[in-house]
């Protein structure tokens, strides 16, 4: 049989080249799908809610590997406080669930992680404060992530908030929180289930088109 296949390929070199090309294309497609699903993804920023940290048309590389590894061991991925993450949007008519709504406009959203389950979050007089067992009198998470006036969350946070973060969910906010620049856990979006996290931002690049998400 091997001799027959070898003889056939010798008699039909063009077919051999076509089969090799098809095999190569299949491997490229499968490799791309694997990388995009389990390792990393690329998105472009649209909007102003993460200024001055991120700007419109910035391209971001999101770390899917961290999420995939947690799911492999049967655990939810839990980001770190202060990380910038991408997550799946949901139906605005109700709270977010783990069911994916692929028809929703602005499916991907990017925000900064502020608080975790059981923690109390307040916004009063322009100041965002988090209370937990370690800091019963509260602390300001922006103090750790604000590198300068032009890098990190802006000083003023609009709104009146007083919420306890539910189990298996996180409180998120944009960095541009004055007024209504950011649609986040303060306004309408609510807290985000762990299961909807796509991954933390790994790199920021300045390239061209990719998948877009709302900020």
Give the pLDDT band of residue 128 (cuts 50, 70, 90): very high
Taking 70 as the threshold, does the pLDDT of residue 206 lie above it? no
Assigned domain for 202 exists:
yes
DSSP states of 87-103: EE---TTS---SS--TT
Assigned domain for 5 exists:
no
Q: Name the nearest CA neighbour of 170 among 92, 77, 108, 106.
A: 77
Mean pLDDT of 119-124: 96
Looking up residue 89, the CATH number of its domain turns out to be 2.10.109.10
CA distance 158 to 144: 19
Assigned domain for 56 exists:
yes
∠ CA 194-154-170 to the nearest 5 degrees?
Answer: 10
Assigned domain for 55 exists:
yes
Give the pLDDT band of residue 172 (cuts 50, 70, 90): very high
Domains: count for the chain:
1
* Strand stretches in the chain, DSSP E: 40-46, 59-63, 84-88, 108-115, 120-124, 127-131, 161-164, 169-173, 192-193, 197-205, 211-214
For all residues of the chain together, what is the average pLDDT? 81
Contacting residues for 8 by C-beta, under 8 A, at least 6 apart:
none
Q: Which two tokens stand for residue 173?
A: 């906010």
Strands in 120-124's sheet, in edge-to-edge order, are 127-131, 120-124, 161-164
Assigned domain for 76 exists:
yes
Q: What is the pTM of this model?
A: 0.77
Mean pLDDT of 27-38: 71
Assigned domain for 113 exists:
yes
What is the CB-side half-sphere exposure of residue 167 using CA atoms within 13 A? 0
Assigned domain for 1 exists:
no
Assigned domain for 151 exists:
yes
Report in angstroms the alpha-carbon separations of 144 from 5, 140, 147, 163, 192. Answer: 66, 8, 8, 21, 22
Share of the chain above pLDDT 90, in %: 36
The domain in which residue 61 lies consists of 43-214
């Amino acid at each position: 049989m091997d001799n027959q296949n070898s003889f056939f390929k010798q008699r039909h070199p063009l077919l051999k080249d076509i089969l090799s090309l098809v095999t190569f294309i299949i491997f490229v497609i499968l490799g791309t799908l694997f990388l995009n699903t389990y390792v990393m993804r690329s998105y472009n920023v649209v909007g102003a809610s993460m200024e001055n940290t991120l700007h419109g048309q910035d391209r971001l590389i999101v770390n899917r590997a961290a999420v995939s590894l947690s799911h492999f061991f049967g655990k939810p991925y839990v980001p770190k406080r202060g990380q910038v993450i991408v997550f799946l949007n949901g139906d605005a008519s109700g709270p977010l669930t783990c069911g994916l709504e692929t028809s929703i406009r602005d499916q991907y959203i990017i925000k900064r992680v502020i608080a975790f389950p059981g923690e109390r979050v307040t916004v009063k007089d322009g100041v965002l404060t988090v209370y937990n067992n370690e800091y019963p009198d509260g602390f300001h998470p922006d103090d750790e992530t604000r590198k300068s006036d032009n890098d990190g969350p802006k000083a003023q946070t609009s709104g009146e908030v007083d919420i306890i973060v539910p189990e298996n969910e996180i409180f998120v906010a944009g960095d541009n929180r004055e007024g209504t620049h950011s649609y986040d856990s303060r306004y309408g979006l609510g807290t985000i289930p762990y299961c909807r996290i796509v991954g933390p931002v790994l790199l920021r690049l300045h390239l061209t088109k990719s998948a877009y998400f709302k900020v």
